């Protein structure tokens, strides 16, 4: 991988210095500092991964679920987040143990034709993800500044390059930007919830007491599948396994590796908890503002913004909604573009300057949006968002299944290979999610 996305130094010496069992008196005096140096490299990677769980595509799904079925599908959001933690922990374990990101590991493990197929699929998934973020950001620019969608799409293509310029040679700056964006989103939704005044009892009931209607009611089942299907973003596996990779190969010491795995998993889980809370906020906002007021099928992001100000009686609510949407789109475009670079270099070993890869990824996402607006007008933007999610779902097996295979390979993972129980659980969860996504794709195509 190039220096502009270089992993932070995680030397074995630093990891060992955080171990009190092997420290002498002098080392103990600097234990606090050494421990911080050990923890610091893992802070931020989880936040960059978490943005994939609160992108504009997730917004549309959460808004529709909340407006249609009140708080009933909160349990599915909770279950989805727990599954996400499990799967992302596998991705980070692959990176830390093998010293390779998922793309590079696939190139090493599988035949040329297979890894090329996986690479093409991964790039298609990233372009579909970028398309959703571009659309979400363009809608946000329209809501906040009254810009035409066409202009918003073009601005989105430019500003992501500006943001990525800050990350040249220093990934940590990008991570700080992402963390600030996430915290700002959290503040926006906290204020939105204050305005909408949700029912606390019904909220807790919907989250922790699942109803049989989740399975028996076809509409609720479809909404649940939509949320479950959106928990796994293929590009997140490539991104996460890359961000946690050691700078120079895998860490060999078992005790140090266990320690680094623990820190990285903690960072990931804390970040995904924040993403979970933001998804809960979106769904609860839709339930308390739209469902309660009689608006039972709100999935259009622009419609949701205009309605929320009228329903809760605060003009600021619409502005905060637009701001949060803009932040969601911007942070997701940054991480998606990095994932695109990881995929191109990991699968195809392309020695191309990172700027060209980034520009190519952005153009691939922007062109469909621009063409759609010019040919069919603004009315086709939301259907295009749906299409991007369908394409994304179709690419899921090509990332999830290789991840399970690789983390279950003792030649790659050594003693950190999946246990029998974890491996069985991983296959069950993976096939379950892939099956749900397949049903969602078929139903979307059949317009059911």
pLDDT in tens, 178-192: 888 888 888 888 888
Rounded Cα–Cα distance for residues 160 and 163 (Å):
5
| Burial 144-157, CB ≥16 within 10 A → b, else e | beebebbebbbbbb
- Residue pLDDT, tens place only, 192-250: 888 888 999 999 999 999 988 888 887 888 888 878 777 778 889 999 999 888 755 55
Rounded Cα–Cα distance for residues 356 and 179 (Å):
26
Q: Which residue has the tokens 């799904």?
A: 61
Tokens of 3: 């220096």
- Between 211-225, 308-322, 409-423, the lowest mean confidence (pLDDT) is in 308-322
Rounded Cα–Cα distance for residues 240 and 88 (Å):
7
Rounded Cα–Cα distance for residues 149 and 401 (Å):
37
Tokens of 325: 């949407």
Rounded Cα–Cα distance for residues 199 and 284 (Å):
9
- Residue pLDDT, tens place only, 249-294: 555 567 778 888 888 999 999 999 999 999 999 999 999 988 888 8
Work out the angle between the directed axes of helices 381-395 and 397-407 (0-180°, nearest 10). Answer: 30
Please report, for residues 39, 180, 185, 406, 439, the alpha-carbon distance to residue 279 in angstroms, rounded to integers and kept in the order given: 27, 17, 11, 30, 23
Contact criterion met (CB below 8 Å) for 251 and 15: yes
Region for residue 198 given its phi and psi (left: phi exceeds 0; alpha: psi -120 to 50; beta: otherwise): beta
The confidence band for 161, taking pLDDT boundaries of 50, 70 and 90, is: low
The pLDDT assigned to 7 comes to 45
Q: Residue 245: how many CA atoms within 13 Å on its side-chain side?
A: 25
Q: Is the pLDDT of residue 388 over 70?
A: yes
Q: Is the pLDDT of residue 379 over 50?
A: yes
Contact criterion met (CB below 8 Å) for 366 and 157: yes
Rounded Cα–Cα distance for residues 186 and 174 (Å):
18
Residue 199: how many CB atoms within 10 A of its CB?
15
Output the CA angle 417-418-424, nearest 5 degrees: 155
Q: What is the DSSP letter of 177?
A: H
Tokens of 323: 């701001």
The confidence band for 350, taking pLDDT boundaries of 50, 70 and 90, is: confident
Q: What percent of the chain has pLDDT over 90?
A: 27
| Gap between the terminal Cα atoms of the chain | 44
Rounded Cα–Cα distance for residues 346 and 350 (Å):
8
Rounded Cα–Cα distance for residues 385 and 381 (Å):
6
Q: Which residue has the tokens 């906290």?
A: 190
Domains parsed from the chain with CATH numbers: 3-446 (1.10.4160.10)
The pLDDT assigned to 179 comes to 85
Average pLDDT, the chain: 81
* Nearest alpha-carbon partner for 309 in 78, 144, 448, 87: 144
The pLDDT assigned to 40 comes to 62
The pLDDT assigned to 252 comes to 54
**Based on the number of CB atoms within 10 Å of its own CB, is 197 exposed (0-12), middle (13-18) or buried (19 or more)?**
exposed
Contact criterion met (CB below 8 Å) for 400 and 437: no
Rounded Cα–Cα distance for residues 54 and 79 (Å):
15
DSSP SS3 for 243: helix
């Amino acid at each position: 991988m190039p220096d502009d996305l270089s992993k932070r130094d995680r030397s074995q010496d630093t990891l060992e210095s955080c171990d009190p069992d092997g420290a002498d008196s002098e080392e103990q005096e600097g234990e606090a500092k050494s421990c911080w140096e050990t923890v610091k490299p893992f802070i931020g990677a989880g936040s960059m991964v978490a943005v994939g769980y609160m992108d504009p595509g997730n917004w549309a799904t959460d808004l529709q679920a909340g407006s249609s079925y009140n708080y009933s599908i909160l349990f599915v959001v909770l279950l989805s987040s727990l599954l996400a933690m499990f799967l992302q922990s596998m991705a980070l374990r692959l990176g830390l143990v093998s010293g390779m990101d998922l793309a590079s590991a696939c190139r090493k493990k599988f035949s040329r034709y297979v890894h090329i197929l996986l690479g093409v699929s991964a790039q298609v998934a990233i372009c579909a993800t970028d398309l959703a973020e571009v659309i979400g950001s363009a809608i946000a620019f329209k809501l906040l500044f009254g810009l035409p969608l066409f202009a918003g799409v073009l601005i989105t293509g430019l500003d992501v390059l500006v943001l990525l310029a800050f990350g040249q040679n220093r990934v940590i700056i990008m991570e700080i930007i992402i963390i600030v964006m996430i915290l700002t989103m959290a503040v926006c939704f906290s204020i939105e919830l204050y305005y909408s005044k949700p029912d606390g009892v019904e909220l807790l009931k919907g989250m922790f007491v699942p109803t049989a209607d989740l399975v028996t009611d076809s509409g609720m089942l479809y909404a649940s599948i939509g949320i479950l299907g959106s928990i796994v973003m293929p590009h997140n596996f490539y991104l996460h396994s890359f961000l946690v990779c050691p700078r120079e190969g895998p860490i060999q010491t078992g005790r140090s590796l266990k320690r680094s795995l623990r820190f990285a998993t903690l960072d990931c889980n804390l970040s995904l908890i924040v993403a979970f809370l933001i998804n809960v906020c979106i769904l609860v906002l839709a339930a308390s503002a739209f469902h309660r007021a009689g608006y039972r099928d709100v999935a259009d992001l622009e419609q949701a913004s205009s309605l929320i100000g009228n329903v809760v009686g605060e003009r600021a609510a619409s502005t905060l909604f637009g701001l949060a949407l803009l932040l969601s789109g911007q942070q997701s475009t940054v991480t998606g573009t990095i994932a695109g670079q990881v995929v191109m270099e990991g699968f195809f070993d392309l020695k191309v300057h990172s700027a060209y890869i980034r520009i190519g990824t952005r153009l691939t996402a922007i062109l469909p949006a621009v063409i759609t607006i010019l040919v069919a007008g603004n009315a086709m933007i939301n259907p295009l968002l749906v299409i991007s999610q369908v394409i994304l779902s179709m690419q899921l097996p090509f990332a999830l299944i290789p991840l399970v295979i690789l983390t279950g390979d003792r030649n790659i993972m050594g003693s950190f290979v999946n246990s029998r129980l974890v491996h069985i659980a991983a296959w069950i969860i993976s096939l379950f999610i892939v099956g749900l996504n397949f049903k969602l794709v078929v139903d979307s195509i059949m317009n059911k």
